[in-house]
Amino acid sequence: MKRHLPYSTPEGYFQDLQQRLADIPGKKQATTFQKFSPYLALAAVFAVAVVVGNVIINRTAAPAAASAREVVEYLMDSDLTLSQLEDAIFYSD
Amino acid sequence: MELEETFKQIVSDYSEQLYWHVRGIVGDHDDTDDLLQDIFMKIWRALPGFRGESGLFTWVWRIATNEALGYLRKKKVRAALQFQSLDAKAERVIDNDPYFNGDAAQRELAKAIAKLPEKQRAVFSMRYFEDLNYEQISEITGTSVGALKASYYHATQKIKERLNLSDGFESK
């Protein structure tokens, strides 16, 4: 014996349902781009935020400190005397 | 044009029966209505590739069952993320459902069914309410007959426990 679900539907529901379902072939289906455009927009906003943030950080950050080798090479190329070089190396912090 | 005619024939032949199939699995009228749109959209898109290896009924029911189970899985994940109990929510939905027209015993049965794991719920509904045989359900779900019998048995045991029934509840 087939048992029935204890549910009902709104008045005239199946007529309306059949009409809506029969209209499906005429509906314009969303393209892949349309389906993913919200995600693409979100990704674009994120990318722009990363680029802008990077530019701001690079422009406002203090220049990187020169390495010891670079300082020594700079001083060696300068016209300083040996005593001035010693002072520059040993008394610099 | 021929495809459109076939599609309209499927709508005409199966939409009402398919409504009850999906409603048996998900329970709620509005959810069923939304799902039917998605299901028939999928049927329309997949129709050119239908080769008839399985019967039309099996093919349509397979699409609908997969869609309904997918919906229930998503619902479960959403509830888990919000730390909500789906069982308590299902009881509230059944208690407040304006389209529930059963008696008190049927209400308790509906609540017990709503608490079953989604696959057991689908198998139970197809066997108990739609009266499909195990071979048909096997073709629809791609599950062996033995596994389906076990699934149905476990479902009826859980329902009996929840309804405090001993042997008054018929299993098939």
The answer to whether residue A3 sits within a structural domain is no
Does residue A39 lie in a domain region? yes
Do B11 and A21 form a contact (C-beta atoms < 8 A)?
Answer: yes
Chain B residues with CB-CB distance to A4 below 8 A: 129
- Nearest residue on chain A to B107, judged by CA atoms? A6
* ipTM for the complex shown: 0.84
- Nearest C-alpha neighbor of B118 from the set B152, B77, B73: B73
Give the predicted TM-score (pTM) of the model: 0.73
**Domain presence at residue A18:** no
pLDDT of residue B141: 97
Strand partners, A71: none
Determine whether the interchain pair B97/A7 forms a contact, defined as Cβ–Cβ distance below 8 Å. yes
Residue A6: inside a domain: no
Residue by residue, pLDDT tens for chain B (172 residues) are: 689 999 999 999 999 999 999 999 999 999 999 999 999 999 999 999 998 878 999 999 999 999 999 999 998 888 888 887 777 888 888 999 999 999 999 999 999 999 999 999 999 999 999 999 999 999 999 999 999 999 999 999 999 999 987 555 655 5
Beta bridge partners of A7: B100
- Residue A24 in any domain: the answer is no
Contact A24 B7 (CB under 8 A): yes
Q: Is A84 within a domain?
A: yes
Range of the domain at A45: 33-60+67-92
Q: Is A25 inside any structural domain?
A: no
Residue A30 has pLDDT above 70, yes or no: no
* Closest partner CB to B44 (pick from A5, A18, A24): A24
Is there a domain that residue A74 lies in?
yes
**A-interface mutation test, from B1, B14, B31, B33, most A Cβ less than 10 A away:** B33
pLDDT of residue A1: 47
How many domains, in total, are found in chain A?
A: 1
